[in-house]
Amino acid sequence: MFSKKLFVIVGALSLLATVADGTKIIDLSRDFEVGNLDSSGAEKVIDAASGDRFLVLEKGQIVAGYTSDSLRNNYGYLLPLYSAQKSLDSLAFGLLVDAGLLSLDDTLSDIFPNDSTWKNLIHADYLQGVSIRELLTLSSGLVGDITSPDLCVSNTEVPDDSCVWDAGGKDLFSALKYLSPNGERGTYNYVFHLMLYSYIFLQLTGQGMREYMTLNVFPALGIRNDAIAWLKNSDGVDATNGMKLSAYDMAKFGQLYLQKGVSAPNASLISADWIEKSLTGFVPKALGVNYGYHWDVYDHNDDKVYCAAQGFGGQMICFYPELERVFVRQTQTPTLTEYLSPKDDFFVFERTTVFKESRKPNKALKKKSKKSKKRKVSNKGDNDVNEFVV
């Protein structure tokens, strides 16, 4: 069924230490440098940011962060991305497009031409005409089956791949059956699970998504394959929405997009053209929010803030090119009643939030932070930046 095209994409070109808009370029295969962690902005993050873990970069340096005591004591450093993984899947699709293995106009029937794939599927004719572009912008009119199996939850103290994640499809047939054309084509329709993506990668490359990204993405970002977790379905296929990362590694992806796909001063991981298109709001999603290739585009101060597709419970990667800032937010044990908007933390992107200057500790802020059971990141002791990474 699947073609066998084991390959590695290598892209490199000579670049300056900044991109055209002046953004500072750092080598993402290396550890982040740590900036001033005692600024008023860092204290403001501890006092006001939402979620159980929060990390802020400015010009590629860690400038603020905290982890809640509850998360520190019970969950360790890895948490599921949930739908935020869609934005990482979009990156992988972009690599296929850059390599000429995929076109955004390719339809599902182009990718799965075998008639047996579509046998006994109620909506086969509609599904066959859905394009990759429509899938990436959630504008195909397809919606997911709300009776799909519940999420599997596992301990995240160590990289844990023990859960079987069948939400969204236990095989190709059920991944297609999960989707039905009950939305309006050309408008935004949220789909929780897109297990179909993993089968597209198998079909086009002969590789699972984890193997593919281990070869083509993780090395350039300094991410160790043995330091993540990625659940599989009953078919043994890497599950979409099943990846678990540290906040530190999530920030690598945010910085990559801020750098327009440039992974180091002398190397480009993915084309700037793909990044630009990914961050173009093609489809209206909500007031002041448009949707690109699995990226939310927010209006902010007559400018734009870009956020990865929001993960269940508030898992977020956001960046603001104007100030070269990235923030990552993780939450634990989310429920369907919880909703943390990215805008809750857009104060990070205000000019009044300053991370460069030093100041004496604000006792009132520290007292409030202690009460809220958040511990800030620092350069030493049990609060150091290593808690964000293995």
pTM of the model: 0.88
Residue 153 amino acid letter: V
Environment class of 219 (CB within 10 Å of its CB; exposed 0-12, middle 13-18, buried 19+): middle
| Token duo for residue 130 | 């859905």
State how far the Cα of 181 lies from the Cα of 166, in Å rounded to an integer: 21
- Alpha-carbon distance of 338 to 284, in angstroms, equals 23
Tell me the pLDDT tens digit for each residue of 329-379. Answer: 998 866 555 567 888 899 999 999 999 865 444 433 333 334 446 666 654
Predicted pLDDT of residue 7: 42
Instruction: For domain 33-388, give its CATH number from 3.20.20.190, 3.40.710.10, 1.20.272.10, 3.65.10.10.
Output: 3.40.710.10
Q: Which two tokens stand for residue 180?
A: 């039905």
Residue among 282, 307, 287, 333 at smallest CA distance from 75: 333
- 155: confidence class by pLDDT, cuts 50, 70, 90: very low
The 10s digit of each residue's pLDDT in 74-107 is 656 788 898 999 999 999 999 999 999 999 999 9
Look at residues 185, 205, 209 and name the one whose alpha carbon lies nearest to residue 197. Answer: 209
CA distances 31 to 28, 88, 126, 243, Å, are 7, 20, 46, 21
Contact (CB, 8 A) for 65 and 330:
no
Domains in the chain: boundaries: 33-388
